Structure 1
Amino acid sequence: MASEDVQTNLRLPADLKDRLQTSASENNRSLSAEVASRLEASYRSSEGLVTKAELEDSLRKAALRFESEQIMTASIRTMLANNVIRLFEQLDPDRRTDAFADAYDFAKSLTGRGSPGLEEAIAKIMRVEPINSQASKLASALREQESFFDSVVQAENEKKKATKPA
């Protein structure tokens, strides 16, 4: 205890004292040091001041969110491009318009080397933010979208087979 520190008695609910004691142990501090640290942090927070560690933590979390959003955007773009390619290739050549051919060419350029595939992007999302249920829901939705387009293409193929003269 520093010479300018004063001793004070304080009444606390038992569960709050237990939580403080647990935090103190986790932070390798005494109960008094933990209480002082938390009080100082509350004053810094109310004054708009942050510590270097708090700033670094906020920046790290923001960078992870940004990377996760970039990966999700890339995976959605790739999925949509793959669906355009699949639909174009399944479409009868006489029904292909110039605009659809342009979309096909653009989609092909998006799925070239360096573009993350759906599974790769989902794996990265889950590594970056494994607790994020939104990322997990997005991954499931993307898989469902892929399955839906696969079933549409399969139904179209079966329809073609059924209408072809024998």
Structure 2
Amino acid sequence: GTPAVASDEAPRAETSPMSRVTAARTKKAESGEGDRVFGGMEADKGEYPFQVALLASHMLDENAASQLNAQFCGASLIAPGWVLTAAHCLVDGGAPISADIVTVLTGATSLDEGTRHQVAEVIVHPGYSEMTLDNDIGLLKLADASDAPTIAMVDDNSA
């Protein structure tokens, strides 16, 4: 399908959750604490195998260390070829980002490991609003299916 265009409303920087990331990283670095996990606890390797990282493709080279500064959002592998994330990670300037500017990293507990996957399609919820963050959900279709474990879905009997 054709990706939906986000709301025509002009975004306010102070409402964007991403605008706080740089400030949080700076504060964390100044405190002398590690900078791998914000507001949580470090997970054991393999504890969340469906968790993936979204990387800015233009910041990557053949060296896995380039992934450390390229990560901009997290997401979940919901099927071998599909990733679920927040729409605010997939919109820039009021429109969905191009598939070629994002790379998905699977199978990693640390950003300097894992397998990179190209993205074939970016889909943003048609009702997403940058102002209110309503319908803040989006999908990435991978160019090639991943063999990483997917998130467990709830069946009808356990809901």
TM-score class, shorter: under 0.3
More strand by share: 2
- From the two aligned structures, give the one with the greater helix fraction: 1
> Taking CA–CA contacts closer than 8 Å with sequence separation of 6 or more, which of the two structures ends up with the larger relative contact order?
2
Question: What TM-score do the two structures reach when normalised by structure 1?
Answer: 0.20
Larger radius of gyration: 1
